[in-house]
Structure formats: structure tokens, C-alpha cells
Amino acid sequence: MIETFGTYMKENGWNIEWNEIKENDLPETIINRYRNIPKQWLEFISSIKCLVSADETMWFLCAEDFVVKNNEAFQWNEWELISLGSAEGDAEWQNEISQFWNNHLPIVMSVKGSYSYYAIAIKDGSIVYGSEPEFEECEIVADSFTDFIEKILKKELRL
């Protein structure tokens, strides 16, 4: 299914780079923070090194994206950082934001029109969609990562 998805995305103008070595190499901080990462997503990031829209306004987060680099325009948790900045001085609100992101692993980021994301809800593996200004207000768009991919392939979900 991952190869079919990669081919579909390439045919629809996305730039894809495949991993030659099937390793996900997620940083230890990610593995420790998100204890229940779905196997299907781990297989995805071990197969795909980079997947970015042609206009570079939307991208799937892959293993290398989770390595914090100071020269990157957007970190993997940029929307969390923006929310925490907005809540500066309000410890209770910051705690709520941190709890939300501890339970939602971002997998797609977008700056097309507005800042938005897709994330895995760690509690049940569903995929949620959220956007600014309240990133933590999100809606379930797929029951699982596999369902998410299938909905994209069937054009039920457009990126």
C-alpha cells in the first residue's frame, strides 16, 4: 500500500524520496514521548524519506524531520511551540497544550492558506485534523493511518 500511495502522490505532483535502507531512526525523545505509535506509520516512515507537495506548502513528517535542527523554518512540533508561546504566563493553559500534544503525534504539516496539521491520536490511532488559531481543537478524519492513506487514494480526503 505504501508504494501505491507514493506512486499516487508522485502522479499528483508531490515530490517523493524513498528510503534506500528501511529504517525509521526516530529520535529517542519521540519514542519516549509517544509510546503507542501505530506500526503502519512506522512502516511508512521507514519507506519514505521525504514527501512534499510541489509548492512546498504541505509535507509529511518523516524520520529526519523529527531531528531538531536550528536552521529549519519549521520544527516538527512548531504548532505546539506557537500555542505554548500564546499561553505564556498561564501555566494551566500551557499544561493543557502540552497534554494535548503529548497525545497527538503530528504527521503532516501545512502552511497552505493557514497553518494546519494531521496527527495521530495516540490513545486510539485515529487521525485528526487541526488548524490555527486553536491548534488543539481538532476533528477525527480517519480511524487509522491506513484509513487515512486509503481516503487520500480514494479522493475522499484531499491534501
CA 150/CA 143 separation, integer angstroms: 11
Least confident of 51-55, 74-78, 102-106: 74-78
Question: CA separation (Å) from 59 to 36, 48, 81, 122?
Answer: 23, 12, 18, 20
Burial class (CB in 10 A: 0-12, 13-18, 19+), 115: middle
pLDDT (tens digit per residue) in 111-122? 998 999 999 999
Burial 120-139, CB ≥16 within 10 A → b, else e: bebeebbbbbbbeeebeebe
Grid cell, residue 143, equals 480511524
pTM value?
0.92
Write down the pLDDT at residue 24.
64
- Tell whether the model's pLDDT for residue 70 goes beyond 80: no
pLDDT-based confidence at residue 74 (cuts at 50, 70, 90): confident
Q: Coil, strand or helix: which one is 134?
A: coil
